[in-house]
Amino acid sequence: MVDILHRIAAERTAPAQAYEALTTLDGLAGWWTEQTTGSTRTGGVIAFRFKDDGFDMEVAELVPDERVVWEVVGGPDEWIGTRIRWELEADGDYTVVRFKHEGWREPVEFMHHCSTKWGVFLMSLKRLLEHGKGEPYPHDVHIDNWG
């Protein structure tokens, strides 16, 4: 099992703001994909779409202002059963976001792509928190010939 790890921090941001960006449809649509629908409560399923494809995430755990865990229940084969874990922590004027996409079976080339693309979307989240506007799909930064 292999994991994708990332860490960003947003300045002049409280953990509650970051938590809101991860647990409301408006927040999620502000940095990941504008095509976000579903239920963001524990046990709910959030549908993230990128044109015709995308991911369905079951909300596995919510600890206000501290932790969000999603389990992937729909999407590419490589993603099914993996988990996305968000940990939030205040550090001075920053909120630190520790990210883990855990449980990949193999370090396939697609995982390399997803790692970089998560990085770009986390920078979009940082921008949303610091400047009020992210770069969600379809306005996302392209990293390679896959998107």
The answer to whether 95 touches 108, Cβ cutoff 8 Å, is: no
Q: Which is nearer to a copy of itself, 56 or 94 (CB)?
A: 94
| Secondary structure of 28-85 as H, E, C letters | HHCCCECEEEECCCCCCEEEEEECCEEEEEEEEEEECCCEEEEEEEECCHHHCCCEEE
C-alpha 146/C-alpha 127 separation (Å) is 23
**Where in 72-131 is the site for a copy of itself (CB under 8 A)?**
91-92, 94, 96, 98-100, 107, 109, 111-113, 115-116, 119-120, 122-123, 126
For residue 120, the minimal CB distance to a copy of itself (Å) is 7
For residue 105, the minimal CB distance to a copy of itself (Å) is 14
Positions that interact with a copy of itself (CB under 8 A): 2-9, 11, 91-92, 94, 96, 98-100, 107, 109, 111-113, 115-116, 119-120, 122-123, 126, 141, 143-146
